[in-house]
Amino acid sequence: MSFFENTRKPVGLGGKVMVSMMNLGHTPVATWGLEFLRLSSDAKVLDCGCGGGSNIKRLLKSCPRGIVKGIDYSPVSVEKARKVNHAAIAEGRCSVLQGSVADMIFADASFDAVTAFETVYFWPALPQCFREIYRVLKPGGTFFICNESNGDTDKDEKWTEIIGGMVIYKSGELKAYLEQAGFHDVQIHKKKNWLSITARKRGDQA
Ligand SMILES: C[S@@+](CC[C@H](N)C(=O)[O-])C[C@H]1O[C@@H](n2cnc3c(N)ncnc32)[C@H](O)[C@@H]1O
């Protein structure tokens, strides 16, 4: 298994190294992408494919009176995300669960926002995962996607060649999947090779 397979599902020692690297390496794209996500200070947020948890930490700062939960199917990611956010977990403002985005334990209409940083490339059944996110969002809630690769250049193929099962979606493909799942008001932002998308569940929240 190549070291880079740990981006899809971190395992073992290589996985531990990878989640620490991703916490640092994804900071520029995450910081840029978050400019497009509006959150109230008491928002309830779910970070899907949370990896090492640095984005949970950022979201907790954006919502000082809110709650941020994380979910990831990798035990290595869950362990690191819990470590990085131990203080917020102790305060009862954060929890990190092991599980797949395709089938989540959360009740319908639980979250104001659901985020997915650098992870939708690896979701095996994207339409099912998007429907599941739609289900757990409150009416009017926002789904936010942030990717370092937007599929607009052949250079991205270097990643799909070395990481099994990775798909780099173009913005139009993601928009189509989002609308099929019921989302509307799909907003697309790009910078360099980066992509940030917000999409809303129909409903009455501003
Ligand atoms: C490239 S890492 C990104 C981690 C983090 N979001 C970041 O930006 O640093 C992708 C993460 O998504 C998780 N993941 C991939 N597919 C998943 C799925 N279907 N359900 C839950 N987690 C998933 C992986 O285990 C991994 O931790």
pLDDT tens profile 92-149: 999 999 999 999 999 999 999 999 999 999 998 999 999 999 999 999 999 999 999 9
Q: Check if 22 has its Cβ closer than 6 Å to any atom of ligand 1.
A: yes
**Alpha-carbon dihedral sign for residues 137, 140, 141, 145:** positive
Beta carbons within 8 Å of 42's beta carbon, 6+ residues apart: 63, 65, 66
Q: Output the CA 140–ligand 1 centroid distance in Å.
A: 25
Q: Give residue limits of the domains in the chain.
A: 3-200
Instruction: Say if residues 101 and 132 touch (Cβ distance below 8 Å).
Output: yes
CA of 47 to the centre of ligand 1 (A): 10
Indicate whether residue 183 lines ligand 1 (CB < 6 A).
no
CATH of 3-200, one of 3.40.50.150, 3.40.190.10, 3.40.1710.10, 3.40.50.2300: 3.40.50.150
Share of the chain above pLDDT 70, in %: 99
Atom of ligand 1 nearest to the CA of 77: 27
Q: Phi/psi class of residue 62: alpha, beta or left (left: φ > 0; alpha: ψ in -120 to 50)?
A: alpha
Of all protein residues, the one whose alpha carbon is nearest to atom 2 of ligand 1 is 7
- Interacting residues of 105 by C-beta distance below 8 A, sequence separation 6+: 97, 99
User: What are the pLDDT digits (tens) for 13-62?
Assistant: 999 999 999 999 999 999 999 999 999 999 999 999 999 999 999 999 99
* Element containing residue 139 per DSSP (H, E): strand 137-147
In the structure encoding, which two tokens stand for residue 160, read together? 């799909």
